[in-house]
Amino acid sequence: MANMAVAVGGTPAPAARPTRRNWVPYALLLPGLLWLAVFYAAPMFTLGSQSLQEGNVYDGYVLTGNVGIYPEALSEYWPHLLRSLGYAASATIAGLVLAYPLAYYMAQKAGRWKNIMLILVIAPFFTSFLIRTLAWRIILSDGGVVSDIVHTTGLINLLDIMGLTQGGTLLNSKFAVMAGLTYNFLPFMILPLYAALERLDPRLMEAARDLYASGWETFRHVIFPLSLPGVVAGTLLTFIPATGDYINSRLLGNTQTVMIGQVIDSLFLRVLDFPKAAALSFILLVMIVTLVGIYVRRAGTEELV
């Protein structure tokens, strides 16, 4: 006779149902995994294979495992790599300085104007990146309002001394490239900062004031540490795309402001040196991933998020 489990009071206990594997989470992951496989993993594999080929566009390319293309590309274009990192870092710092006060005001002080300000921040995304950059050619052109203000206040002399402009003109200069990068990627800095600052508990700032902390001490010990996840996210979202940008350097710069993205674009589409262009792309990728890894580790984001 089969054994029957008896519950308290003599009532037979229901037999345990066999556990079934829940495939729903895996099914939900499948579209994303397929997207990454088709549009990320496969192109990366193709690009890596292309960087190890030899030949030309007329006779075709053959995979020879030519790893020497990497030191060759690095030795030839290292100034453009360093220049790109410098411009991206400058735009990131400038964006943080401009975005933090605005994001704090929106999150803590704007009140009923908060949504309107958010719309104004997002509004540039409704315009093409190319058109926004072309607009800066008009803004920084000689005889414009910005140029007149800079010349009237004497700031143009300071910019010339710093090497950001040449000949007293703003357009086609380092300053123009940095200004374009800062403007175009500023929303990517504002939105993460706003999200982090909006979550601040006002009682913490009130407690700091009750403990006789000054405004600077409150910011240094309470507000800024709690907003660090937004700072890290904003700086990464600005620095990474700015490093590989080539539109701003092409439209707003000169031959002395060529960035690595512009070099890769030229090698792919004009020079038709596909292996060297692919190698530079991988070098840029490794540099960015390394710098981001060091930055995130130093910032201690794992403990703050």
Asked if the structure places residue 23 within a domain, the reply is: no
Q: Which tokens hold the place of 174?
A: 């380092």
Q: What does the pLDDT read at residue 304?
A: 44
Mean pLDDT of 145-158: 90
Total tally of structural domains belonging to the chain: 1
Higher pLDDT, 297 or 79: 79
- What is the Cα–Cα distance from 244 to 263, expressed in whole angstroms? 10
- Residue with the bigger pLDDT between 258 and 302: it is 258
270: which residues sit within 8 A by CB, 6+ positions away? none
User: Which residue do the tokens 């300071």 mark?
Assistant: 158
Average pLDDT over residues 108-117: 89
- Please give the model's pTM, rounded to 2 decimal places: 0.85
User: pLDDT of 263-277, one tens digit each?
Assistant: 999 999 999 999 999
Q: What percent of the chain has pLDDT over 70?
A: 91
Judge whether 30 lies within some domain: no
2 falls within a domain: no
What's the pLDDT band for 14 if we cut at 50, 70, 90? low
The predicted model gives 127-133 an average pLDDT of 92
| Residue 172 is assigned to a structural domain of this protein | yes
Q: Is residue 260 part of a domain?
A: yes
Q: Please report whether residue 188 resides in a domain.
A: yes
Check pLDDT > 70 for residue 16: no
Is the per-residue pLDDT at 113 higher than 70?
Answer: yes
What is the residue range of 261's domain? 63-304
Question: Of 286, 288, 250, whose CA–CA distance to 266 is shortest?
Answer: 250
Mean pLDDT of 280-294: 92
Nearest to 260 by CA among 78, 32, 89: 78
**Residue 43, domain member (yes or no):** no
48 assigned to some structural domain: no
| 156-196: pLDDT as tens digits | 999 999 889 988 889 999 999 999 999 999 999 999 999 99
Indicate if the alpha-carbon torsion angle 280, 284, 289, 290 is positive or negative. positive
What percent of the chain stands above pLDDT 90? 64
Q: Which helix (H) or strand (E) holds 216?
A: helix 215-218
CATH of the domain at 291: 1.10.3720.10
